[in-house]
Amino acid sequence: MLKVPARTAFGTKAPFNVVSTSLLTQHPRGQCANPIGYLLDESITREEAMVHFLRQSWQVKRKSTLLAYRCVPQLLPEDHRAMRIREMALIKDLSDHLHQRLRLKDEDQRLDIVANLLVFLSIFGPMRDWLHCDMPEDVIVPTVAAGACAMIRDLMIQTET
């Protein structure tokens, strides 16, 4: 069962928006999901890791993500801040994992930009699936993952030169 605190950090009763934001961080079984962890698995290729990351986001978290982002226009200011903090933490976590996997310097901010784009793809990709609903997922996910990995490869080439 999904556990949601009765009160927010700001001391008010948790509105629907906080509940929907809480859904983003949990599996249907109530366990935390961390698809970013695949990016550190050196036993698989970067493309395979990206496929795992996107597939996890698009399959397991799809409905809760769609629900949460449909609520954004109605968010209370404190919920909007909480959601922004969560998003920034996700971007930083992803960027840190990419820095570690690619062995790039921590001060290289380009991976922060790539991490932001990857989070965008993982969140909003499912909202575009109605345009390619006749295509199999086994074509869509690896294609998007290959595009994301091409961005990363380009950064690495730029770093080497």
Amino acid 117: pLDDT? 92
CA angle, corner 151, sides to 105 and 138, nearest 5? 125
Amino acid 17: pLDDT? 43
Indicate the DSSP class of residue 128. G
Amino acid 155: pLDDT? 84
Question: CA 161, CA 157: separation in Å to the nearest integer?
Answer: 6
Q: Collect all residues with Cβ–Cβ distance below 8 Å to 99 and sequence separation of at least 6.
A: 105, 106, 108, 111
Written as tens digits, the pLDDT of the chain (161 aa) is: 333 334 334 334 444 444 444 444 444 433 335 667 777 788 888 899 899 888 888 887 777 777 777 787 888 889 888 888 988 998 999 898 888 888 887 777 888 999 999 988 888 887 777 787 888 888 888 999 999 999 988 888 887 76
Q: Is 97 exposed, middle or buried (0-12, 13-18, 19+ CB in 10 A)?
A: buried
Q: Collect all residues with Cβ–Cβ distance below 8 Å to 8 and sequence separation of at least 6.
A: 14, 18, 78, 79, 82
Question: CA 57, CA 1: separation in Å to the nearest integer?
Answer: 20
Amino acid 68: pLDDT? 75
Amino acid 133: pLDDT? 80
Listed as own residue / partner, the contacts of 158-161 with beta carbons closer than 8 Å and 24 or more positions apart are 159/104, 159/108
Amino acid 35: pLDDT? 66
Amino acid 132: pLDDT? 79
Tell me how far CA of residue 157 lies from CA of 1, 152, 161, in angstroms: 46, 9, 6
